[in-house]
Structure 1
Amino acid sequence: MNGQTRKDLSAGVTVDIVLKADQKTGKLTSGVVKDILTKSPTHPHGIKVRLTDGQVGRVKAIHGK
């Protein structure tokens, strides 16, 4: 799953995100979803989430629970 569809995500799922500061390099950060911030059902650049450690970024890959 590529992280562009909101229904594929829920709190507690492990994901790879790109932080705003890492958008140019594409460096991925792994973590567990705490909140889903994007309200629309899909987003072409990935659904924006907040991880349990407070970092915010767009989902690039979903690993599951």
Structure 2
Amino acid sequence: MEDNKISGRFRKNIQIGSEVEVVQKNHQRSGELTEGFVKRILTNSPNHPHGIKVQLETGEVGRVKNVLL
């Protein structure tokens, strides 16, 4: 499974509807990942060192750690 992941630090890797793993703000210390599908991309810059911030279809917001293929 580890081979089927793309870095979430680059906006070009993320599209609306992509399946991703994100870290929510309240889980940054533990690193707990939440899986879901991208509803909105909230970061405007082409890259971000901690991951592109997105809103999932569930309404949760977090920074993308991995884009799942």
TM-score bracket for the superposition, by shorter chain length? over 0.9
Aligned to 2:66, the other structure's residue is in SS state strand
Identity of aligned residues (%): 52
Residue in 2 that maps onto 1:58: 63
Structure 2: any 5+ residue segments left out of the alignment? 1-5
- State how many pairs are aligned: 64
The one-character-per-residue Cα deviations of 1:10-56 (angstroms, maximum 9, x if unpaired) are 10000000000000000000000000000000000000000000000
TM-align CA RMSD: 0.6
Structure 1: any 5+ residue segments left out of the alignment? none
- TM-score by structure 1 length? 0.96
Aligned to 2:50, the other structure's residue is in SS state coil
